[in-house]
Structure formats: C-alpha cells, structure tokens
C-alpha cells in the first residue's frame, strides 16, 4: 500500500502525463485541420499594386493565380473579360462570380480556351473564341457547371477517350453550349453525365458520344444544330437518355450507329420533334444481325416522335 508521499507523487505523475497528452494533441490538431482546408485565391482584372491573391489584393490574371495554386485550391474570379488560355491544374476549382460577366476569351485562338486536368471544376464562367472551348484530358474526372461555352471554331467541349470508371467521369450540367463551329460536345469513350444543358445552334451535331461509353443524358434541350441533335454509337455502350427535348435539328433527332457489337441505348420520356429528317435514325455500319436492333436499342411509347420530316424511326440503313 502507498504512503501519503507516494500517493502525492503518483497523482502528480498522472497529471503530468495528462498534460503531456494534451500538449501533443494541441500540437497535432491544427496540422490536421489545416491539411483538410481549401486555400482560396482571388482574381480581379482591375487589380493593381500589391497582388497576393487575397480578397483585398487579388491577382490580375487567372494565370497568375493558377501558378500559385496547389491541390485543394479554389480560384474565385470577379466580373470582367480575361484574355488568356487557362490550364486548370490537378485538384483546382474555378468559380466565376457571374457566368454572363466573367468571360475567359482565348488569347491564342488555335488552342483550347480552358484545359481541364483530373479532379478539377469550372463553374460560373463564359468560355469563348478558342479552337475548342474546353478540352478534357485523359485520366481526368471533371465537373463543368453553370457555364456558357460559345463561339469556338471547333467544339464547345471536347473530351478525350479514356476508361469508364468513376474516376474518369465527366459532369456537364446547367450549361449553355452554343454557336460553336463544329459540335457542342464531342466525347470519346468515357463515363459521362450530361444534364440540364442547352445545346444549340452548333454547326455540327449537338452531342457526339463514341462507342464503349457509359452515359446518363437527361433534361437537356438540344435544338437547331446544323447536323443531328445527338449522334451515338451502340457498340459496347450503356447509354440512358431521359426527358430530353430534341427539336429542329437539321438532320436527325438522334442518329444511332451500330457496328455489330453488344450494347444498350435506352431512350425514355423525351420529345424528339420537328427535326429535318428522322426522329431516330438507325445506321448499320457493318454486317450484323438486323434483329439485334430491337434487343439493343430501346425506346418506349412515352417518347414523343412527331413532325420529323422523314418520319419517326427510320428503316435500318446499311453502309
């Protein structure tokens, strides 16, 4: 049994151990909190004097902010026109204060205006007058939301072909993709989520999706494009389309190409109307069993097909 002095010493030892533990936690906790915190940098085209990316001393260009950005950095852009080509570094997010009034205009019109790498975001800006508006690199999962992509000499958004895993998914939502010299969206084999966009008056097709893709295409207005509203390839694909309005495109509402490989395209609860040729056109590009079309291409009686000049669903054209 401990005597009084020993009890006091023991008690003091426990207190010292507890204080040491508290000190360790106090030293390590701020490091943990800081490591999960996002850095914010600010850009304003009217900036002058000291520029350190803070709210009171923003950078003058997006490029200057990008050069200082690391992973988990948000770049916030004030209203104005920024004449520069921007490559968004891995893990960086860009937010404009007003999509109509934050304009990124290509300085070099033979390049993409914005290049997106993995785990990047572009939100609330206008992208214009480049070769392509937005170029999405391989091995990149990205998010494009509430943007205007217009007046680019080729495609509004071009997405490089890659895998279809979750980490390669490209989200495009609530954006206006218009008046581009070729297609609104041109996607290689990829995982895609395209929702609630307006895609119109492009000189090519509204949306082009390569074979082997996994895609959710819903709630879009796809209209007045010079070729077809959508051009998609069946082989190896798993594509679901729902509640799209596809109208007044100069060729087909939807052109489906088939080279003979298994796949699935489901067209549901959509309006495909007033297009220059067929509502849905079926193009068989290689020798295959004609009967496979009914197995792989599905559209329900909830799809409205009327007013298309050549008819509702085409016969199977072979090439």
CA distance readout (Å), 132 to 23, 88, 275 = 55, 15, 26
Average pLDDT over every residue of 150-165: 98
Q: What percent of the chain has pLDDT over 70?
A: 88
**pLDDT at 5 > cutoff 50:** no
Residue 173, φ and ψ in degrees, nearest 5: -145, 150
Q: Give the residue ranges of DSSP H helices in the chain.
A: 4-35, 62-68, 292-296
Banded model confidence at residue 28, pLDDT cuts 50, 70, 90: very low
Instruction: Spell out the long-range contacts of 128-137 with Cβ–Cβ below 8 A and sequence spacing 24 or more.
Output: 128/103, 128/104, 128/152, 129/105, 130/85, 130/106, 131/106, 132/156, 132/157, 132/158, 133/157, 133/177, 133/180, 134/158, 135/160, 136/160, 136/170
User: What was the pLDDT predicted at 178?
Assistant: 98
Averaged over 247-276, what is the pLDDT? 97
Task: Give tens-digit pLDDT for 43-85.
Answer: 999 999 999 999 999 999 999 999 999 999 999 999 999 999 9
Q: What is the pLDDT of residues 110-155, one digit of tens each?
A: 999 999 999 999 999 999 999 999 999 999 999 999 999 999 999 9
* CA 133 to centroid of chain Cα atoms: 12
- The predicted structure's pLDDT at residue 288: 65
Burial of 299 (0-12, 13-18, 19+ CB in 10 A): buried
pLDDT at 47: 97
Rounded Cα distance, 164 and 24, in Å:
45
Does the pTM exceed 0.85? yes
Assess whether pLDDT exceeds 60 at residue 22: no
Q: Give start and end residues of each alpha helix (H) in 119-193.
A: none
Query: How high is the mean pLDDT of the chain?
Result: 91
Compute, in degrees rounded to 10, the torsion defined by CA atoms 31, 34, 36, 38: -160
Nearest alpha-carbon partner for 296 in 268, 257, 263: 263
- Answer whether 119's CB lies under 8 Å from 139's CB: no
How far is residue 306 CA from its own chain's centroid? Answer: 31
pLDDT of 35 > 80? The answer is no
pLDDT, tens digit (0-9, with 9 covering 90-100), for 272-315: 999 999 999 999 988 767 789 999 999 988 999 999 999 999 99
Question: Cα 179 to chain center, whole Å?
Answer: 18
Hey, what are 81's tokens?
Answer: 């026109």
Q: Two tokens at 217? A: 């295409």
């Amino acid at each position: 049994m401990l005597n009084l002095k020993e009890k006091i010493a023991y008690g003091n030892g426990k207190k010292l151990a507890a204080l040491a533990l508290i000190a360790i936690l106090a030293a390590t906790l701020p490091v943990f909190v800081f490591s999960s915190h996002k850095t914010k940098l600010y850009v304003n085209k009217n900036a002058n004097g000291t520029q350190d990316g803070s709210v009171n001393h923003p950078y003058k260009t997006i490029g200057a902010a990008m050069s200082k950005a690391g992973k988990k950095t948000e770049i916030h852009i004030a209203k104005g026109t920024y004449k520069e080509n921007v490559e968004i570094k891995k893990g960086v997010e860009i937010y404009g204060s007003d999509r109509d009034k934050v304009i990124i205009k290509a300085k070099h019109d033979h390049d993409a205006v914005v290049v997106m790498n993995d785990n990047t975001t572009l939100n609330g800006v206008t992208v214009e007058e480049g070769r392509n508006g937005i170029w999405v690199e391989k091995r990149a999962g990205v998010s494009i939301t509430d943007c205007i992509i217009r007046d680019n000499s080729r495609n509004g958004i071009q997405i490089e072909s890659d895998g279809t895993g979750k980490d390669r998914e490209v989200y495009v939502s609530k954006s206006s993709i218009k008046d581009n010299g070729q297609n609104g969206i041109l996607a290689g084999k990829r995982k895609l989520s395209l929702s609630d966009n307006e895609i119109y008056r492009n000189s090519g097709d509204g949306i082009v999706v390569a074979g082997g893709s996994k895609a959710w295409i819903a709630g879009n207005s796809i209209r007045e494009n010079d070729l077809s509203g959508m051009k998609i390839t069946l082989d190896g694909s798993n594509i679901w389309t729902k509640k799209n309005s596809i109208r007044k495109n100069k060729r087909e509402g939807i052109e489906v190409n088939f080279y003979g490989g298994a796949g699935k395209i489901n067209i549901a609860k959509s309006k495909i109307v007033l297009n220059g040729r067929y509502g849905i056109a079926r193009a068989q590009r290689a020798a295959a069993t004609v009967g496979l079309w009914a197995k792989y291409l599905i559209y329900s009686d909830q799809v409205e097909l009327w007013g298309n000049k050549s008819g509702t669903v085409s016969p199977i054209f072979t090439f």
